[in-house]
Structure 1
Amino acid sequence: MEGGRRGRACVVVLGDIGRSPRMQYHALSLANQASLEVDIVAYGGSEPHTELLANPSIHIHLMKQWSTARQSLPKILQPFMLLLKPLFQIFTLLWYLCIKIPSPDIFIVQNPPSVPTLVAVKWASWLRKSSFVIDWHNFGYTLLGLSLGRNSRFVSLYKWFENRMNWLKTGGLMLQYCTTNLLISFIQLRWKKGTRLNEHFYHPLGVRDCVSNGSSLTSSQIQNESVFTTEVGSNICLKPNRPALVVSSTSWTPDEDFGILLEAALMYDRRVAAILNEDDSLDEEVMWKEISDGKQCLYPRLLFVITGKGPEKAKYEAKIKTLKLKRVAFRTMWLSADDYPLLLGSADLGVCLHTSSSGLDLPMKVVDMFGCGLPVCAVSYSCIKELVSVDKNGLLFSSSSELADELLTLFKGFPVACDSLKVLKSGALDTGSSSRWVTEWEEHAKPLITEVISRF
């Protein structure tokens, strides 16, 4: 940089930075690996990762959010408020990007949402003579189509905005950090630029890391950790008759049908009851009692922990309360960025219900699960096999019945004689250890970032 000035980057998220793990990873890599000062412009709400907060080179700027008071307005005024919201957002973004923060050498923004984020960042990059980088997660118009319908005029306009505008024509060099080969092929065909960056930031944890260091998580939010572990001398050991812990994380949005998981859990519960000829008088409390004679059941009890926040959470929590389950229990919770990997590292299986509105993106939650060495059962769709290798690090399903079959297959003889689950666990560990976010970012992203900054 001129005069020895340290380079600067701005990471833009039109959302809760604590719920944007990929952009947090970018910020940490920009600061630690590219040695840049990093400004994050985003909304608050959830606590970011402690590494982010502790890094002296990272500066978080929290924007004021659009008021939700419009929801109580008369219906005739609500369309006008919908038009005012993006205007409010774009002026707020421009205020922060052009005035509040020091001039950056490079902007990095996540898409979606495209409106108004891409326009605001594009204008800011032009005014401040900075480069402009898009991390393509998915297409916003396909997500909008879930709520408004594919034939909506708003969806068509949004699609034109995302797909037809030539983002490379002005505003400097642009790079696309994509999640699938299909998506990067689309972007390279459209704009002749793009590189793939889809690796995890987490790493496998040991029993002591997961349970001892995460005891506050286990005891206060799941239940007493003695259900899962016992202390022998100075060692923490997993109990042979413990329940199996299954984790699923979600934003509780329409592109994830949690009805599939609830139906599969009910099927598992009934099929196991039929196999073991259990008495109907048993209730969920039995799940938390130790087996007095120490004998191991053919099929374990299952605890499903579902993490995340979102619009459909209350709807599914109400459905869970109506289920008559004997050997299965559900817990829903929101975890901090520090507790979440502890939960993944403690779990026996991950379940992903992400179906992709565009069919072109991959679920980051599966990437994080593999990073913790956790095997996954995932909904099957067009490009999921780029991430999940069937019978190696996970399984795919297309219905609740298929998922129930997979749960029965994987957990039969748990935890000692479940050979199928052990194979997937080994494969997930190999997937997790084969490539790390830091390594991939160093190889693919850092040279491009350095090239971009050197031009400005």
Structure 2
Amino acid sequence: MLSHLLARYLCANLEVDIVAYGGSKPHATILEQRSIHIHEMAQWPIIPRSLPRILRPLMLLLKAVTQFLMLLQFLCFKIPAPDVFIVQNPPSVPTLVAVKWASWLRGSAFIVDWHNFGYTLLALSLGRSSPLVALYHWIEKHYGRMSDGSLCVTKAMQHELEQNWGIKATVLYDQPPEFFHLASLEERHQLFCRIHNDLTQPRGLQDCVSYGIDTGRVDFSETLFTAGEGSDIFLKEHRPALIVSSTSWTPDEDFDILLEAAVMYDRRVAALLNEDDSTSEEILWKDICDGKQFPYPRLLFVITGKGPDKEKYEEKIKTLKLKRVSFRTMWLSAEDYPLLLGSADLGVCLHTSSSGLDLPMKVVDMFGSGLPVCAVSYSCIEELVKVGQNGLLFSSSSELADQFLMLFKGFPDDCPTLKSLKNGALKTASSDRWATTWEANAMPLISEASLSLHG
């Protein structure tokens, strides 16, 4: 998130102060920038699920008041007075209020960068009929209309803001930072060496990926996907297909869809190959690893991120009895995550959008890494995912399973549709980067807002 925030706001010869929550270390290229000054706030502790429901509104109110006071302290006293405050929304409460007040006190312009609507996110947990959601909506709309300018991430959101909120916004599509790119063979090999133990340790019992792997070895001339030494590195012929999905493990991403699709792929391949149910798992895994089950490969799903629903889904994964599919969950450094995307064969996005008007930044990152995507279909996703060009859309687990079968049949060499989508993702990545979109869309708005305030 921080890398995208900086990418949206940073351009040549600007001093940028970022006030944000910590929790993970930013990418090294960000930390090395002398013009970027990061100010970390203490995070509010996660509200325990065991807390009685009647007390949750009180805790949310206490959280908002505490964060409001903390934000004012940073914005009014701990950073130099800026020409422009730019606040990413959501969160809306108390962020919009605090930044607006700070802009008054410090004589700065106030610009809102709309990534979604905060009240729709709150409604996921409290329900649309909640009085707190109505109050949140009013605050978000009232303070949003007090801005000196607005940016937003889709044309659909631009239309909604203008028609129903009375806010004119400029569309600034997210673009991937430069460190998202197609990984070289050497970069892939080094990455797979670093995360070898995470990839080979199954969630539960032994599976088709951990079969035959000596997790205690020290020699990293061979990984699950690559082999060789020095510059003489090659991709293994019978490697698993690597599928990546990143998530914050929240209710707006239904991972049951992915788990069900994995089970369907596993069973449908078995049916297509007329597999004998009496075959032992050990013999079956050996045949799959040796390529005897061609043309359908093993699938290794790597799910990155951390969040409240992670443990729930990890327990579900342990109960699945899959023969050709494996799952791994992990948290990667800011340097290794882009390399994982640049090394994978397919990305999966389960983001459904609480408002139906925002776009998933994870897909932007995937395209920046030349990674084609299968994404959940919703109202404005086609502003980003071009069906048949850089990705596919699905509405059910069965449809996603069909896409896996179609894309990976003949993997790794004889899968033309997957290769075509990959080429499309690479073209998407090369078409626009931050320099051109920033200069064309964001800079004029920021300059106008600053000049109108300061003359």
Give the TM-score normalised by structure 1: 0.87
More deviation in 232-241 or 356-365? Answer: 232-241
**Paired residue for 1:9?**
none
Q: Which residue of 1 aligns with 2:189?
A: 212
Shift of 1:211: 1.1
Q: Partners of 2:282 and 2:382 in 1: how far apart?
A: 36
Distance in 2 between the 1:234 and 1:157 partners?
60
1:213-252 aligned at under 5 Å gives the runs 213-223=190-200, 226-231=223-228, 234-252=231-249
Say whether the 8 Å CA contact 2:192–2:223 is kept in structure 1.
Answer: no
Instruction: Give the corresponding residue for 1:200.
Output: 176
Q: 2:438 & 2:283 partners in 1: Cα distance? A: 47
Aligned equivalent of 2:5: 23
Query: Matched residues in 2 for 1:283 and 1:433: separation?
Result: 44
Structure 1 residue 82 displacement after superposition: 3.0
CA spacing shift, 1:407–1:100, aligned 2, 3 Å? same
Which position in structure 2 is the counterpart of 1:175? 150
Could you tell me how far 1:221 is from its partner in structure 2? 2.5
Instruction: Please give the per-residue CA displacement for 1:275-330, whole angstroms capped at 9, x wherever unaligned.
Output: 223454544897699845x6571100000000111111111111000000110000
Match of 1:117 among 81, 85, 95: 95
Check the 8 A contact 1:70/1:78 in 2, yes or no.
no
The answer to whether the 8 Å contact 2:76/2:106 transfers is yes
| Partner residue, 2:412 | 415
Q: Which of 294, 315, 320 is the matching residue for 2:317?
A: 320
Partner of residue 383, structure 1: 380
Q: Specify the SS of the correspondent of 1:39.
A: strand
| Shift in CA distance, 327/61, structure 1 to aligned 2, threshold 3 Å | same
State the secondary structure of the residue aligned to 2:69: helix
| 1:168–1:145 Cα change, 3 Å | closer
Q: Secondary structure at the match of 1:191?
A: coil
Distance in structure 2 (CA, Å) of the matches to 1:356 and 1:398:
14
Letter paired with 1:196? L
Asked whether 1:304 is paired with 2:301, we answer: yes
Whole-angstrom CA distance in 1 between matches of 2:6 and 2:286: 37
Alignment length (residue pairs):
429
- 1:147 pairs with one of 100, 118, 125: 125
3-state SS in 1 of match to 2:370: coil
AA aligned to 1:346 is: S
Alignment correspondent of 1:5 = none
Q: Is the 8 A contact 1:197 1:444 kept in 2?
A: no
Per the TM alignment, residue 340 of structure 1 is displaced from its structure 2 partner at its CA by 0.9
The more displaced of 412-421 and 429-438 is: 429-438
* Aligned 8 A contact 2:153 2:359 in 1: yes
Q: Which moved more, 1:86-95 or 1:57-66?
A: 57-66
Measure, in 2, the Cα distance between the counterparts of 1:231 and 1:380: 41
- CA distance in 2 between counterparts of 1:248 and 1:146 reads 22
- In the superposition, relative to structure 1, how do residues 287 and 199 fare at CA in structure 2: closer, same or farther (>3 Å)? farther
Question: Match for residue 14 of structure 1?
Answer: none
Q: Which deviates more, 68-77 or 308-317?
A: 68-77
Residues 227 and 290, structure 1, Cα contact 8 Å, conserved in 2: no
Cα RMSD (Å): 2.4
**What is the deviation of 1:62?**
1.3
Q: Which residue of 2 aligns with 1:3?
A: none
- The Cα shift of 1:360 comes to 0.4
Query: Separation in 1 of the partners of 2:286 and 2:334?
Result: 27
Is 1:160 paired with 2:157? no
Which ranges of structure 2 fall in alignment gaps of 5 or more residues? 201-219
Q: Which runs of 5 or more residues in structure 1 are unaligned?
A: 1-18
User: Shift in Å at residue 333 of structure 1?
Assistant: 0.7
1:64-102 CA distance string (max 9 Å, x none): 233458888787765443322111110000011001111
Q: 2:336 is matched with which residue?
A: 339
Match of 2:391 in 1: 394
Is it true that 1:98 corresponds to 2:53 in the alignment? no
Which segment is superposed worse, 72-81 or 254-263? 72-81
Q: Which residue number corresponds to residue 254 of structure 1?
A: 251
Q: C-alpha displacement at 1:231, in angstroms?
A: 1.7
Structure 2-normalised TM-score?
Answer: 0.88
Equivalents in 1 of 2:265, 2:50: separation in Å?
Answer: 43
Percent of matched pairs sharing the same residue = 62
DSSP 3-state at the match of 2:124: helix
